[in-house]
């Protein structure tokens, strides 16, 4: 390809994009878009709004604990209410301040407090302060605002798992030193076990209001997708079975609206890339394959070393046969750890890790009886071998162990 060819290639790609018959506005399907209307969440939205409405009357709103599985609209609902509240407060000229922090990206107490302080117009110097000093400044800042401060801590499990609930406790307790101002916390999580990890005092303060987001069913997902597709796609760009299929696939995975929207968006992208003017069932199937691959890759990449070694052993053992037994896996895993000069974990732990890999859907493990030899587990690879292998190979230690 010479300079001229390359120019003409770019020209073609760009003009092709302008001719899209599929997407009217693709951004309406991306995760950052917060819709103005969230069907099936009226109750939750109303409850959050009515708790927060205290702020408009100059009282401290209750803390709120929001939980539900992934993709059930928690973030979208809270953002929608916060947006509405801010608008109303400014119309009424009532001092209400809000701060939104996603703890997945900000998973240290220091970063969280710094973000809240900054979003309230406070300054955080580059040179590190102690966390106690930072908290003191936040408290001073809140005090000087003479208003109601609402802090949203989204995906709060990331913060708590890393640093415990101390920060949360301090935030909630800050009110004891404040008179004309207050802080209310909205904690959001999809980790239903999180509650058990909280100190009872934090639990009861945060749970002043508890709001649960149940999963969507296939019918609800269908209707969500239909609404959204009107904003995102040109009329008649979707074949009639596309939305029902996306909804059914996502409903199978615990009713995750994000998954449903991702499938629809990616199916649209697939159709567009191949220059078609309609999205079909095949595009949804292809999109599903792609998303599946991404997910497997992500899950495998984040496994601890010994789980990766066990998975690598399973992959090797099942290269030219269907399954392997736990005994064989332990043997292969021991050889691999020895070659790295590492200690093995106990056989008991290996069995547990195998069950964990099974629960993640990477492998399937089935107990079979071998007569008088007792029972053993037979293990098969369940997810795409290619994706598992690609992710394992990213790990330098493991790379050369895969045959």
Ligand X SMILES: Nc1ncnc2c1ncn2[C@@H]1O[C@H](COP(=O)(O)OP(=O)(O)OP(=O)(O)O)[C@@H](O)[C@H]1O
Positions touching ligand X (CB under 6 A) are 31, 35, 38-41, 68, 70-76, 155, 190, 213, 224, 257-258, 261
**Nearest distance, CB of residue 104 and ligand X, angstroms:** 8
Judged by DSSP in three states, 187 sits in strand
| Contact status: 72 vs Mg ion (CB under 5 A) | no
In the bound complex, which residue of the shown chain has the CB atom lying closest to ligand X?
73
Q: Indicate the Cα dihedral angle 378, 344, 304, 349, nearest 10°.
A: 50
Q: How far is the CB of 341 from ligand X (least distance, A)?
A: 40
| Least Å from the CB of residue 253 to ligand X | 12
Quote the crossing angle between the two packed helices 305-317 and 347-359, to the nearest 10°.
Answer: 80
Question: Considering beta carbons, is residue 156 or 401 the nearer one to Mg ion?
Answer: 156
Residue 365 interacts with, from ligand X, Mg ion, none (CB under 5-8 Å by kind) = none
Q: How far is the CB of 69 from Mg ion (least distance, A)?
A: 11
Measured from the CB atom, the residue of 135 and 190 that comes closer to ligand X is: 190
Q: What share of the chain is helix, strand, coil (3-state, %, to 5)?
A: 60, 15, 30
Residue 189 C-beta: closest distance to Mg ion, Å? 9
The C-alpha R_g of the chain, in whole angstroms, comes to 26
Q: Which helix (H) or strand (E) holds 211?
A: strand 209-213
Considering only CA atoms, which of 250, 197, 254, 205 is closest in space to residue 228? 250
Q: Which does 180 bind (CB under 5 to 8 A by kind): ligand X, Mg ion, none?
A: none
Query: In this complex, which beta carbon is closest to ligand X, that of residue 152 or of residue 309?
Result: 152
Among left, alpha and beta (phi > 0; psi -120 to 50; other), residue 95 is beta
Give residue number: closest CB to Mg ion. Answer: 75
Between 66 and 284, name the residue whose CB sits nearer to Mg ion.
66
Minimum CB distance to Mg ion, residue 190 (Å): 7
- Quick one: tokens of 330? 């332990």
Binding partner at 109 among ligand X, Mg ion, none, C-beta below 5 to 8 Å by kind? none
Does 75 bind Mg ion (CB under 5 A)? Our answer is yes
Question: What end-to-end distance do the CA atoms of the chain give, in Å?
Answer: 37
Residue 275, by phi and psi: left (phi above 0), alpha (psi -120 to 50) or beta? left
Largest CA distance in the chain: 80
- Residue number, 40 or 330, with CB nearest to ligand X: 40
182 in contact with Mg ion (CB under 5 A) = no
- DSSP secondary structure string for all residues of 44-94: HHHHHHHHHGGGGGTSPPPPEEEEESTTSSHHHHHHHHHHHHHHHHHHHT-
What x/- string results for residues 326 through 355 when contact with Mg ion is judged by CB under 5 A? ------------------------------
Residue 190 binds which entry of Mg ion, ligand X, none, CB below 5-8 Å type-dependent: ligand X
* β-pairing verdict for 64-68 and 209-213: parallel
Which region, judged by CB under 5 A, interacts with Mg ion, from 68-76, 168-176, 367-375, 383-391? 68-76
Question: Residue 215 binds what, of ligand X, Mg ion, none (CB under 5 to 8 Å, by partner type)?
Answer: none
- Residue 228 or 306 with smaller CB distance to ligand X: 228
* Residue numbers at the binding site for Mg ion (CB under 5 A): 75
């Amino acid at each position: 390809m010479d300079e001229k060819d390359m120019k003409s290639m770019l020209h073609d790609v760009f003009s092709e994009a302008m001719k899209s018959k599929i997407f009217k506005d693709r951004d309406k399907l991306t995760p950052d878009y917060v819709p103005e209307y969230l069907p099936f969440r009226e109750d939750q939205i109303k409850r959050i709004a009515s708790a927060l409405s205290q702020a408009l009357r100059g009282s401290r709103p209750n803390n709120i604990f929001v939980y539900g599985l992934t993709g059930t609209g928690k973030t979208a609902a809270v953002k929608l209410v916060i947006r509405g509240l801010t608008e109303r407060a400014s119309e009424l000229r009532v001092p209400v301040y809000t701060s939104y922090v996603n703890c997945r990206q900000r998973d240290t107490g220091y970063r969280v407090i710094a973000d809240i302080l900054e979003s309230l117009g406070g300054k955080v110097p580059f040179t590190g302060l102690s966390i106690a000093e930072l908290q003191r400044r936040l408290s001073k800042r809140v005090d000087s605002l003479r208003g109601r401060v609402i802090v949203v801590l989204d995906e709060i499990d990331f913060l708590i798992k890393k640093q415990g609930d101390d920060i949360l406790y301090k935030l909630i307790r800050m009110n004891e030193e404040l008179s004309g101002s207050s802080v209310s916390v909205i904690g959001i999580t999809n980790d239903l076990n999180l509650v058990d990890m909280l100190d009872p005092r934090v639990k009861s303060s945060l749970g002043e209001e508890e709001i649960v987001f149940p999963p969507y069913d296939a019918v609800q997902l269908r209707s969500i997708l239909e609404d959204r597709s009107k904003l995102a796609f040109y009329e008649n760009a979707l074949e009639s079975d596309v939305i029902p299929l996306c909804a059914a696939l996502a409903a199978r995975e615990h009713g995750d609206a994000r998954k449903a929207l991702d499938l629809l968006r990616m199916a649209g992208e697939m159709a567009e890339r191949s220059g078609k003017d309609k999205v079909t069932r095949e595009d949804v199937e292809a999109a599903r394959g792609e998303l599946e691959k991404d997910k497997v890759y992500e899950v495998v990449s984040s496994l601890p070393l010994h789980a990766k070694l066990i998975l690598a052993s399973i992959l090797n053992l099942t290269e030219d046969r269907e399954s392997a037994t736990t005994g064989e896996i332990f043997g292969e895993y021991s050889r691999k750890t020895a070659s790295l000069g590492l200690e093995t974990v106990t056989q008991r732990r290996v069995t547990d890790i195998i069950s964990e890999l099974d629960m993640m859907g990477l492998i399937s493990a089935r107990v079979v009886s071998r007569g008088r030899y007792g029972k053993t587990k037979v293990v098969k690879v369940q997810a795409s071998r290619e994706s598992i292998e690609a992710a394992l190979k990213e790990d330098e230690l493991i790379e050369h162990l895969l045959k």
